[in-house]
């Protein structure tokens, strides 16, 4: 079926990261993603975002799929069912990320960075204190000269950062959160594309995969709104502006103290709710109330 808005078949995705058990906040976002996909008569895919070998565990990926099926989610493509854009585990998609790294390198959009992330954290304050996960703005005076790194054969051994266009306003209209705008160099600075330990950064992997898997709408948590601005810059540098998906960022679920639900808070994990005998329809109801 065709999506009325884009004139192409709707493709949505669920993209859990297996660093812990999924909780009610994930349930709320994923149920919303499924709802929007169904309303458009689209195809839902599941992508396992297990890029970081230090933080991800195969057991959590297994449990996530099991918990999501139990909750009533159903995907047509994924690591467990295959599909035309396999593999659906990010850990198996390195060649795709490397090809994108090469393009960005050739375009002069990225540079190798000798500074460690710790040095950055120690030397520069985060932009907004209230932003729990704010990254410090990478100081422009730390940037190497344009062209640095163009002759690199591989990303190995150093961090690679995206050179952001300082002062440019990056705006987009989010289908749930409304009009958004961020200023490059003020709201966020040069961000990681590839880590010195050989792991591609989230921002790169997610853009590469959303493009490769022909995603037409990204439904995810509002904590990633600013990331969307960074990702729009990557789409542009890859020459893929015409393939940018629509975005629908869901409100974040908070606990009774107003703190964001973290995967650490096992109390509201789907596993725990399941083990306590909570029926899936009750969890769906709870999730709907929270979102």
Q: Which is nearer to ligand GLU, 33 or 104 (CB)?
A: 33
Position among 10, 11, 16, 187 found at the interface with ligand GLU (CB under 6 A): 16
Nearer to ligand GLU (CB atom), residue 23 or residue 163: 23
Residue 64 within binding range of ligand GLU, rule CB under 6 A: no
Nearest to 32 by CA among 44, 22, 20: 44
Residue 15 sits in the site that holds ligand GLU (CB under 6 A): yes
103 is catalytic: no
Where in 146-274 does DSSP place strands (E)?
159-162, 169-174, 178-183, 191-194, 217-221, 246-250
- Residue 140, CA distances (Å) to 22, 113, 192, 201 in order: 38, 12, 14, 20
Helix (H) or strand (E) holding 119: helix 117-123
Whose Cβ is closer to ligand GLU: residue 137's or residue 207's? Answer: 207
Active-site residue, from 4, 175, 226, 263? 263
Q: Backbone phi, then psi, for 170, in 5-degree steps?
A: -105, 110
Nearest by Cα to 64 from 130, 15, 106 = 15
Q: In whole angstroms, how close is the CB of 263 to ligand GLU at the nearest point?
A: 9
Which residues within the stretch 221-250 sit at the binding site for ligand GLU (CB under 6 A)?
224
> Alpha-carbon distance 162 to 164, whole Å?
6
Among 17, 48, 216, 269, binds ligand GLU (CB under 6 A): 17
Report in angstroms how near the CB of residue 10 gets to ligand GLU at its nearest: 16
DSSP structure class, residue 190: S
220, 226, 230, 271: residue in contact with ligand GLU (rule CB under 6 A): 220
Q: Which residues bind ligand GLU (CB under 6 A)?
A: 15-17, 49, 206, 220, 224
Give the catalytic positions in this structure. 263
């Amino acid at each position: 079926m065709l999506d009325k808005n884009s004139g192409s078949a709707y493709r949505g995705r669920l993209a859990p990261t297996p660093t812990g058990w999924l909780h009610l906040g994930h349930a709320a976002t994923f149920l919303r993603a499924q709802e929007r996909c169904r309303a458009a008569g689209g195809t839902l895919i599941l992508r396992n975002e297990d890029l970081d070998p230090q933080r991800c565990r195969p057991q959590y990926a297994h449990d996530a799929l099991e918990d999501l099926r139990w909750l009533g989610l159903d995907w047509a493509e994924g690591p467990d069912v295959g599909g035309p854009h396999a593999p659906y585990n990010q850990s198996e998609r390195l060649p795709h990320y490397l090809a994108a790294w090469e393009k960005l390198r050739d375009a002069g959009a990225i540079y190798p960075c000798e500074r460690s992330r710790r040095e950055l954290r120690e030397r520069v304050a985060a932009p907004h204190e209230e932003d729990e996960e704010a990254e410090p703005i990478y100081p422009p005076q730390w940037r190497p000269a344009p062209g640095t790194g163009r002759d690199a054969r591989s990303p190995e051994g150093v961090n690679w950062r995206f050179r952001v266009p300082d002062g440019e306003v990056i705006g987009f209209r989010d289908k749930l959160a409304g009009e958004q705008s961020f200023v490059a160099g003020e709201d966020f600075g040069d961000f990681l594309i590839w880590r010195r330990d050989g792991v591609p950064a989230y921002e790169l992997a997610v853009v590469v995969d959303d493009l490769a898997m022909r995603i037409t709408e990204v439904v995810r948590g509002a904590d990633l709104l600013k990331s969307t601005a960074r990702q729009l810059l990557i789409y542009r540098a890859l020459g893929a502006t015409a393939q940018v998906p629509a975005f629908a960022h869901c409100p974040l679920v908070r606990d009774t103290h107003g703190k964001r639900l973290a995967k650490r808070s096992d109390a509201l994990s789907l596993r725990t709710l399941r083990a306590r005998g909570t029926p899936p329809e009750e969890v769906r109801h709870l999730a709907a109330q929270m979102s």
